[in-house]
Amino acid sequence: MKKISVVAAASIALVAALSGCSASNAPTVTATPTASATATAAAQTHAEACAIVMKTMRELASKQGEAASAMSDPSKAQAILDEMSASFASMDSGVNNAEVKVKTSAAAAAFSDYADYIKKIQADPTTVSTDVLTTKLKALSSASTAVGTECAGA
């Protein structure tokens, strides 16, 4: 039972942390960067990098409801967490624009750190520290907000 409550609390906190990712003032970007545009850092424009970011953020925002509904199913919650972690990593690897890359790398690292901690406490719920969890969530929220802010005007 404790394992489920830890996952539930972490899922609720994650949804709250990522709520800034889908900021309503973010533009809808429909252009998809071409393979040649993302081939080198010099070739990718800020707008092309932000198209990748905003697409990923919209996908992550659409998983928020799914994450909330998985609170009583630790296996499902872990699968969603793994999907979201892969999305952050994919976003970061697709961005080559130096300005945007700084923000996506920070967000991907913060999410990976958060996901690793959740896996640790799922394996051993006695290791949970609300202070550590709060710190990791704040870092994730801050990094996700920074990415959204960087691309809000793109």
Q: Render pLDDT for 38-56 as a digit per residue (tens, 0 to 9).
A: 344 458 999 999 999 999 9
Whether 72 is in a domain gets the answer yes
- Give the per-residue pLDDT at 30: 39
Whether 25 is in a domain gets the answer no
Q: Render pLDDT for 97-154 as a digit per residue (tens, 0 to 9).
A: 999 999 999 999 999 999 899 889 888 889 889 999 999 999 999 998 999 899 987 6
Best CA proximity match to 62, nearest among 110, 15, 3: 15
3-state secondary structure of 11: helix
- Residue position matching structure tokens 């998983």: 63
Whether 40 is in a domain gets the answer no
Whether 37 is in a domain gets the answer no
Using pLDDT thresholds of 50, 70 and 90, give the confidence band for residue 13. low
Whether 32 is in a domain gets the answer no
Domain containing residue 110: 2-18+53-151
> Would the CA dihedral through 111, 113, 116, 120 be positive or negative?
negative
Whether 103 is in a domain gets the answer yes
Distance (Å, whole) CA 8 – CA 46: 37
Q: What is the DSSP string of 47-105?
A: HHHHHHHHHHHHHHHHTHHHHHHTTT-HHHHHHHHHHHHHHHHHHHHH---HHHHHHHH
Whether 9 is in a domain gets the answer yes
> Would the CA dihedral through 76, 54, 28, 34 be positive or negative?
negative
Q: What is the pTM of this model?
A: 0.74
For 88, left (φ over 0), alpha (ψ -120 to 50), or beta?
Answer: alpha
Count of structural domains within the chain:
1
Q: Is 62 exposed, middle or buried (0-12, 13-18, 19+ CB in 10 A)?
A: exposed
